[in-house]
Amino acid sequence: MMESDPKPAPEEVLVLNHNYQPLNITSARRAILLMCAGKAHPLEIDSRTFHAERIEIRMPTVVRLDYYVRRPVPILRPNRKSIFARDRYSCQYCGTTSGALTLDHIIPRDKGGSSEWENLVCCCTKCNNLKGNRSPEEAGLKLRKFPRRPKYIPYINYTRFLHAVRNPAWLPYLEPYGDGSQKSPERVVYYSSLQPA
């Protein structure tokens, strides 16, 4: 499968809790075992069929558990992979997607900047070196969009969620937990428009 292919691997299955909340992405084999054990039922299937000695089962793409699983509410913490995924692997100052990318603290740490979603952006090494230990304004740079914490994504890691939401069969189940970018990727909120006049 090429990297540009928007669909997850065909053997992946979205697992929903009894209340339809996304819980996990698992293998088709594990999903079929859940179905055979009477613990889940399919909501979406594809054209393939799983053949066993005595049964044939249509291959599921989405299954729902027949019972409710209580899990602690996860905290979506910023990390390198999540920031890169949120920013679509592009420098938030110049827009480049080529070359080495790194993280940048908009307000530098030694000037009180935190390592939170709203202060971290994906940045190319050229812009990072140009900015140095200054604010974007001091370095003559402008952010292409205002960074923010993604809407809460339950249980599925953020980078995997952004990949999974591209699957048309999964979109109706994942879309309520997204940030809307899967609907209108061209939508951009410019940092300069959020600053006081």
Same domain, 92 and 130: yes
Task: Provide the pLDDT for residue 192.
Answer: 30
Same domain, 52 and 14: yes
Tally of structural domains, the chain? 2
Q: Which domain holds residue 62?
A: 1-73+154-197
Helix (H, G, I), strand (E, B) or coil at 1: coil
Residues of the chain with pLDDT under 50: 1-8, 182-197
Same domain, 5 and 46: yes
Same domain, 7 and 68: yes
Same domain, 144 and 159: no
CA distance 80 to 36: 39
132, 149, 166 - which closes a domain: 149
Q: Which amino acid, 19?
A: N
User: What is residue 62's DSSP assignment?
Assistant: E
pTM, two decimal places: 0.69
CA distance 76 to 150: 8
Q: In whole angstroms, how large is the CA radius of gyration of the chain? A: 21
Same domain, 124 and 182: no
Task: Provide the pLDDT for residue 98.
Answer: 87
In sequence order, what E strands does 84-145 have?
Answer: 101-105, 120-124
Same domain, 159 and 196: yes
